[in-house]
Structure 1
Amino acid sequence: MKFFNKKGDATASSEQKVSKGEEEINALLPDYGKYSFLKKSFLIKLNLLMFVVSLSSTNNGYDGSLLNGLQAMPKYNKYLGNPTGAVMGAINNGVVFGSLLSFPFVSKICDYFGRRNTIIIGDMILIIGVILQSCSQNYAMFLVSRLVIGFGTNVSVVPSPTLMSELTYPSHRQVVTAVYNTCWYLGAIIGAWVTFGTRNVSGEWCWRIPSICMAFWPVVQLAFILFVPESPRWLVSKGRSEEARSILMKYHADNNEEVGGALVDFEMAEISAAIQAEQMADNFSYTDFLKTPGNRKRLYYVVFIGFAMQMSGNGLVSYYLSKVLDSIGITSTDEKLVVNGGLNIYNYFISLFFAFIVGSFKRRTMFITSFSAMLVCYVIWTVLSCINQKRNFEEKSLGQGVLAMIFFYYASYNFGFNGLPYVYLTEILPFTLRAKGINIQQCVQQICSVYNGFVNSVAMDNMYPSSWRYYIVWVCVNAVELVLCYFTFVETSGRTLEEVAEVFGEKPVEIADIRDKKFSIETHEHSPSSESLSQSPV
C-alpha cells in the first residue's frame, strides 16, 4: 500500500475508488516533490497549527488519567472522605454533567463566533474550572469545579475537529483529522506521570499539583491559537469570501497564484456551491437531522459512533484501571501508576501510527476490524480473569496475561475508534450540520460516560473479587456493535467533503460546473453574501 503519492502527500491505497472531485483536486495539486509536507515551509506551518487545534483533545485525556492516578493515592481518597461507588462516580461524572450543560449552546457559539473563537472561549472556561479544582476545600467545591471543567472542555472540543477538516491541506485531511484524537493520549501521558511524580509529596499537594498542571494544555493552546486562521468554509458562509481565499492562498498555495491559484479557485468554487445548496448554517437546527432520509442516517451514525467510542469496554480501563488491576492481583500504588503511565504512552504512539495510515484502508474495513479484534480480546481477557480469580491470584502469569490483553485491546480500539471517528463524522456531515453533529456525538459520549462513571464502579465493587463476570457484558456489547456496523455502515473514502452527499442518495456538488466556473472575488456582487446564501434553495 502507498502512504504517499508522487507529490509527497498522504493518499489512499490503490484499491480504493477515487471520486471525480478527488481526481480534480489531485490533478490541481502542485507537484512539490516527495515528502513535501516535511520540506515546504507553508505546509509545515499549517500542520503545526493543526496540532495546536488538536490540543483540545488533551484535556479529556489528562482528566481521565488524572483521576486514575488520584484514585490510587490514599491521601486524595482520605481528603474526599474515601469515596466509593456512586460517590466516586459523581466525581468522575462531574465533567460529564458539565459537558451536557454546554450542549444547547456550543454549536450556536461555533456557528456564530467561528471555530477558532469558540476554542478560545472554551479554554478560558476550562482554566477557571482548573483554578476551582486546585483550590477545592471540600467535596462539594471539588464537584462544582468538575462541572466547570466539563463545560469548558466541550466548548473547546466541538469546533476543533471541524476546524481541522475544513482548513487542512486537501491531501492531508484524512491523516490530520485522524491525528486530532490521538492527543487524548498525549494529555493522558502527562496526567499519568505527573500523578506518579507527586505520589510521595506530603499533604494535599500530592493531588493539588496534578490538578494545577491540568491548565498546562489549554494555556499552551491559548498562547498559539491566535496564529490559527479561521475556517474558510465558515468565512464563506458569512459572506467573507475574500478572507477565505486569502487564507487558502497562504496555506494551500504558498501565496503563489501561478502555481496554486487553480487549486484555490476550485476549492473556493466547491465550497461556495456546497454552502449555497445547503443554505446558511444559522438557518439550520437540530430538527433538520430528522427531515430527510439522508440526515436521519447521518444522525444514526453520529449517535452510534458516540456510543461505541465510550461503550465498547474502554471506559472500564479509562476511569477504573485501579479497580481492574486490583481484580488481577496488582495492588501496589507504584505498580498501578507505572501501568497507567506506560499504557498511555503505548496508546499514544500506536494511535498516532494508525492515524498516519488511515488513508490506506477503507473506513468500513477499519471499523469492522476494530470491533472484531476488541471482541476477541475481551473474550480472552474474561477467561483469564476468571481462571486467575479461581486460583486466588497465585499465578502471576495469568495476571500478566490479562494485562497483555488490556494492551492488545487498546491497539484494537485505537485502530478504529481513536482518530477514525472524527474523519468519518466530518465526512458524512455537511457544513451546515457539522458542528451540530459533532456536538451530538460529544453529548452521546458524555451520556454514556455517566453509565461508565456510576455503573462500572458499583458493578466492580459489588462483584469483587469475581469482577470478571462483569466483563461478559462488554463481550456482548462488542458483538452487537460488530453486527450493526457490518450491516449498516457506508463507505466514504475517496471523496471530497462536499461529495460525500452522494452516498446518502443526495445530489453532490457538480464537479463539471465547478471546473468551468471561474470563482470571482473582484466585486461584492460575485462573492456569496449572507443574504444570497440564506435565500438559496436547499
Structure 2
Amino acid sequence: MSQTTNIADIKAEVGGSHLEHPSDVKLEDVLPKNPGPWYKNSRLTYLNFLLLVPIFSSTGIGYDGSMINGLQAQTQWQNYFNHPTGYTLGHISCGPTYGNFIGVLFAGFIADKWGRKWGIIIGASIMVIASAIQAAAQNYAMFLVARIIIGVGSVIAIVPSPSLLSELSYPTHRAFMTTAYNVMWYGGATLAAWITYGTYWMGEDSHWSWRIPSLLQAFFPLCQLALVYWIPESPRFLIFKDRIDEARKILVHFHADGDESSPLVDFELSEIIQALEMEKQTKNVGFGVLFNKENRRRAFISAMVPFMQQMSGNGLVSYYLSLVLNSIGITTASRQLIINGGLCIYNWGIAMVMTGFVPRFGRRPLLLICTSSMLLIFVIWTILSAINQQRNFEDTSLGRGVLAMIFLYYFAYNIGLLGLPYLYLTEVLPYYIRSQGMALGQFTTACVGIYQAYVNPIAMDAISWKYYIVYCVIITFEFVIVFFFFPETKGSTLEESTEAFDRSVHAGVRHQKAAPADIEMVDEKASTAN
C-alpha cells in the first residue's frame, strides 16, 4: 500500500480487501477464532507493556496531588515555607492549574502537528526540568514557579496520552484500557504518600524530607522518556499524515500477530478511513456546533461529567487531607502521613476492582449508585464532624467514625467517577464534536481546580465541618442531573454509541437500550484474544 494524499485513494486501496462494506461487518466477525490468552501472545503482551507510556501521564498527576498532601503534613516543609494557609496554600495547590491554562494552548497543536509521541516527549521533558527546580527551591516563589511549569508539562503530555492509548490498544481491550487510564492516578498517589511518610523521619532540620519527594516527581516522566522510543505512533495519526504503510505495519505486527492477510487489520483501517472522511467534511465546523440544538445535551454532559469528577467532595481529601484530619482532631504528622498512604493503597485497590465492573453494568446505574452512596456517606460524615467538634474532639470514637466515612466515601466515588468518565464522554460525543467536547471538559476541570484551590482551604479554616454541607447540596444536585439527563450508552461500539444516545434521549433517559449484539460482552469474551 503506497502513500497517497487523497482519502478517496486510500479508501480505494483498502477497498481491495474483502471488507468492501465495513459498516456491514461487526468486530466479532473479524476477531481471531478460538484465541488463546492475550498474555501468551508476546507481541500483544509487549504492546500492553508499552502502553504504560501514555498511562504514566495520569500516574504522574496522581503523584503530584498526593505529594502536596504529604508535604502539608510535614513540619519540615511547613517551617521552611512559613506555614502557608489560605491564599498562599491555594497558590501552591493551584500552581499546576495555572500551568494547564498555558500548556493547553500548545498541547493540541503539538499532538496534531508532530504526533502523540512528541506531545509526550515534550511534556515529560518539561516535567523533569520542573521537578528539579521544585526540589531546588530556595523560597516560596521558586517553589510556586516550579509547580506552574509542572502544570505546563503535564497538560502537554496528558492531551495526547488517552488518544495514543485508545488508538493503539487491541480493539477488545480498548474499553478496559480507557477506563484504567485514570485508575492509575492512584499508582502515583500511593508512591508519593509513602515517600513523604518515609522522608518525614529524616529529622525536622532536614530539608531533604521535602526535596526528595519533589525531585522524585520526575520519576514517571523519566520512565516515559526511557520507553517512548519503542512505542509505535498512533496508526490514525500516521494515516492522517499519509504514512499508510507505517500504520498498516503497526496494526499487522501488534494486532494481527504478523498476519498480513488478517481481516481485523482491514477492518481497523477501514474504520480509521471513515473517521478521516468525516473529519474532512467537518474540519471547518467551529466550536459553536457543540451548542447546536441537537448537541446541547451533549455539551451539557461534557461539562457536567468533569464537574462531578472534581466537585463531589474529593477535592477536600485529594489536596487538603491534612486540614480535614485536623478538623477531627488527628493532628500528629506521622498519623496523617500513615492515613494518607493507607488511603491511597485502599483507593487503588478499589479502583482496579471497579474497572472490571464497567463492561458488566450500564454507565447510568454506576453513576446513580455512585452519587447516591456519596450523598449518604457525606451526610453521616458531616453529622459526625459536627458532634466531634461540639465535644472538643475528646470522643475518639467519633474521630474514627469520620475516618471510616472518608474511606467509605472513596469506595462510593470509585464506583463511577474515577475511570468511567473518560469512557462515557467518548461514547456520548460523536466524532465530529469529540475534540470540542473534550476541550470543554478540560476547561471545566481547570475552572473547578481554581475554585477548589482558593475556596477549600479558606472555607476549611473559617467554618470547618460546616463547609461539608455545601458538598452535600452539590452531590444531591449531581444525582438529580444524572437521573434526568444522562442517557445509557452501554451495548454499542464507539461509532454506534451516537445512535444509542439519540434513541435513549428520545425514549427517555431511563430507557435501557437492549442491544442485539452487546459489544461489551464481546470485549469480555475476547479479552483473552491474541
Q: Tell me if structure 1 keeps the 8 A contact 2:290–2:299.
A: yes
Deviations along 1:309-349, whole A, 9 cap, x unmatched?
Answer: 11000000001100111111111110000000000011111
Counterparts of 2:345 and 2:24 in 1: how far apart (Å)? 35
Counterparts of 2:387 and 2:25 in 1: how far apart (Å)? 55
Q: Tell me if structure 2 keeps the 8 A contact 1:281–1:431.
A: no
Counterparts of 1:86 and 1:284 in 2: how far apart (Å)? 41
Q: Tell me if structure 2 keeps the 8 A contact 1:99–1:443.
A: no
Of 209, 212, 224, the residue aligned with 2:212 is 209
Counterparts of 1:156 and 1:129 in 2: how far apart (Å)? 14
The answer to whether residue 476 in structure 2 is matched with residue 473 in structure 1 is no
Percent identity (aligned): 46
Q: Tell me if structure 2 keeps the 8 A contact 1:42–1:251.
A: yes
Q: CA deviation at 1:283?
A: 4.7
SS at match of 1:360: coil
Higher mean displacement: 242-251 or 147-156: 242-251
Give the match for residue 110 of structure 2. 109
Pick closer, same or farther for the CA change 1:303–1:89 going to 2, 3 Å.
Answer: same
Pick closer, same or farther for the CA change 1:504–1:322 going to 2, 3 Å.
Answer: same
Q: CA deviation at 1:462?
A: 0.9
Q: CA deviation at 1:280?
A: 7.3
The answer to whether residue 233 in structure 2 is matched with residue 230 in structure 1 is yes
Q: CA deviation at 1:294?
A: 4.4
Give the match for residue 250 of structure 1. 253
Counterparts of 1:72 and 1:62 in 2: how far apart (Å)? 16
Pick closer, same or farther for the CA change 1:300–1:348 going to 2, 3 Å.
Answer: same
- The CA RMSD measured in Å over matched residues stands at 2.0
Q: Tell me if structure 2 keeps the 8 A contact 1:159–1:435.
A: no
The answer to whether residue 316 in structure 2 is matched with residue 316 in structure 1 is yes
Q: Tell me if structure 1 keeps the 8 A contact 2:351–2:415.
A: yes
Give the match for residue 499 of structure 2. 502
Give the match for residue 526 of structure 2. none
Give the match for residue 359 of structure 2. 359
Q: CA deviation at 1:439?
A: 3.8
Q: CA deviation at 1:105?
A: 2.1
Q: Tell me if structure 1 keeps the 8 A contact 2:290–2:436.
A: no
Q: Tell me if structure 2 keeps the 8 A contact 1:134–1:212.
A: yes
Counterparts of 1:377 and 1:498 in 2: how far apart (Å)? 37
Pick closer, same or farther for the CA change 1:61–1:22 going to 2, 3 Å.
Answer: farther
Of 29, 45, 70, the residue aligned with 1:27 is 29
Q: CA deviation at 1:282?
A: 6.3
Q: CA deviation at 1:233?
A: 2.0
SS at match of 2:200: coil
Pick closer, same or farther for the CA change 1:491–1:244 going to 2, 3 Å.
Answer: farther
Q: CA deviation at 1:251?
A: 1.6
SS at match of 1:348: helix
Pick closer, same or farther for the CA change 1:111–1:491 going to 2, 3 Å.
Answer: farther
Give the match for residue 381 of structure 1. 381
Give the match for residue 347 of structure 2. 347
Higher mean displacement: 479-488 or 332-341: 479-488
1:411-426 equivalence runs, <5 A: 411-426=411-426
How many residues are aligned here?
A: 480
Q: Tell me if structure 1 keeps the 8 A contact 2:179–2:423.
A: yes
Q: Tell me if structure 1 keeps the 8 A contact 2:289–2:295.
A: yes
Q: CA deviation at 1:303?
A: 1.2
Structure 2 runs not aligned, ≥5 long = 1-21, 504-530
Q: CA deviation at 1:368?
A: 1.4
Q: Tell me if structure 1 keeps the 8 A contact 2:489–2:501.
A: no
Q: Tell me if structure 2 keeps the 8 A contact 1:154–1:442.
A: no
TM-score (norm 2): 0.86
Q: CA deviation at 1:296?
A: 3.5
Q: CA deviation at 1:54?
A: 0.5
Q: Which amino acid aligns with 2:132?
A: I
Q: Which amino acid aligns with 2:399?
A: G
SS at match of 1:230: coil
Q: CA deviation at 1:284?
A: 5.6
Q: CA deviation at 1:454?
A: 1.0
Give the match for residue 121 of structure 1. 122
